[in-house]
Amino acid sequence: MTLKLSLSRWSVFRQCPYRYKLKYVDWVTPSREISNKHLSFGATLHTVLAEYHRMEPSQRTLRRLLELVEQKWQSRGYASEQEQAEYKDRAQKLLQPYHFDPQDRGETLLIEETMVLRSSTGRGEFSGRVDRVVRTPEGVIEIIDYKTGRYPEADPEVDRPQLLTYALLYRPRLKPGDLLRTASAYYLEGNRKISFPITENALKEAGAHVAEMFRAADAEREFAPRPSSRCRYDCEYYGEVCLPDEVAAPVEERIDF
Ligand code: SF4
């Protein structure tokens, strides 16, 4: 059987192997869906930007961009109309500096596409969804991942592993003469980009990282639950399928009736 991994599946695996098994090995239908305003906000802005970049340059006006926020708005997870209005206002404040001073100029080569790498043995498949790839005015290729969260002041390297794996995924599409030089995390907050150089060594590092994910997922046999305070908010199996409070309790503290 082919083992299919992606960065999001890997994140679930690291959060809790049992959740990973329920979701991607046993395909258990969840008892509820995870929705929160942060997921909705991020999804809205990604859809808005993808639509904006698909337009002819002459159509990309600020008015059109802000209309897209209204048209593509995802309302799940907000507590009230008032909260939605605040977040719409925030979206518009993030997009205006982007419109007037974009740090990702260039010819668009790809918009929101899932790319897949297959292992040489055919036993593994690694996929990732890339937001955008451009050929910059300098003629080199840049991979861009848009971020709607806070700029990582404390750890600007935090997105590097993710961006390098996107470069690895995109590499098979390069044509003779194409120069893939940069992968960037573009934080709409502050309209700031953090760019990582793409070198042969960086791609080898990404390949080793992906291989390590496959080794760990393939070797897992126990898929033990890993309860945490996040279960209630982050896990679709919380409650009915998995009772983490029970599994978290040390055996000697359990009372059997
Ligand atoms: S509720 Fe918690 S422990 Fe149970 S599967 Fe979900 S993440 Fe894992």
**Which two structure tokens, joined as six digits, stand for 106?**
């260039």
Please choose from 226, 230, 234, 240 the residue to mutate so as to test ligand 1's pocket, defined by most ligand atoms within 8 A of CB.
226
Tell whether the model's pLDDT for residue 255 goes beyond 70.
no
Q: How confident is the model at residue 53 (pLDDT cuts 50, 70, 90)?
A: very high
Tell whether the model's pLDDT for residue 134 goes beyond 90.
yes
Q: What is the pLDDT of residue 256?
A: 38
Q: CA 203: distance to chain centroid?
A: 19
Tell whether the model's pLDDT for residue 249 goes beyond 50.
no
pLDDT tens readout for residues 178-215: 999 999 999 999 999 999 999 999 999 999 999 999 99
- Cβ 48 vs Cβ 64: under 8 Å: no
Q: How confident is the model at residue 155 (pLDDT cuts 50, 70, 90)?
A: very high
- Cβ 198 vs Cβ 183: under 8 Å: yes
**How would DSSP label each residue in 104-117?**
--SEEEEEEEEEEE
* Integer Cα distance of 254 and 223 in angstroms: 22
Residue with CA nearest ligand 1 atom 3: 227
Tell whether the model's pLDDT for residue 147 goes beyond 60.
yes
Q: What is the pLDDT of residue 77?
A: 92
Summarize the confidence of residues 83-100 as an average pLDDT. 96
- Structural domain boundaries, residue 76: 26-100
Summarize the confidence of residues 47-57 as an average pLDDT. 96
Summarize the confidence of residues 222-243 as an average pLDDT. 90
- Looking at the 3D structure of the chain, how many domains does it have? 1
Summarize the confidence of residues 19-25 as an average pLDDT. 95
Summarize the confidence of residues 209-238 as an average pLDDT. 91
Residue 56 placed within a domain = yes
Residue 84 placed within a domain = yes
Tell whether the model's pLDDT for residue 12 goes beyond 70.
yes
Residue 88 placed within a domain = yes
Q: What is the pLDDT of residue 88?
A: 96
Question: What number of CA atoms fall less than 13 Å from residue 23's CA on the CB side?
Answer: 23
Which residues line the pocket of ligand 1, CB cutoff 6 A? Answer: 16, 18-19, 225-227, 231, 235, 237-238, 242, 244
pTM, whole model, 2 decimals? 0.89
- Looking from the CA of residue 15, the nearest atom of ligand 1 is 7
Q: What is the pLDDT of residue 254?
A: 39
Q: How confident is the model at residue 120 (pLDDT cuts 50, 70, 90)?
A: confident
Q: CA 104: distance to chain centroid?
A: 19
Q: How confident is the model at residue 246 (pLDDT cuts 50, 70, 90)?
A: low
Of 213, 240, 251, whose CA–CA distance to 30 is shortest? Answer: 240
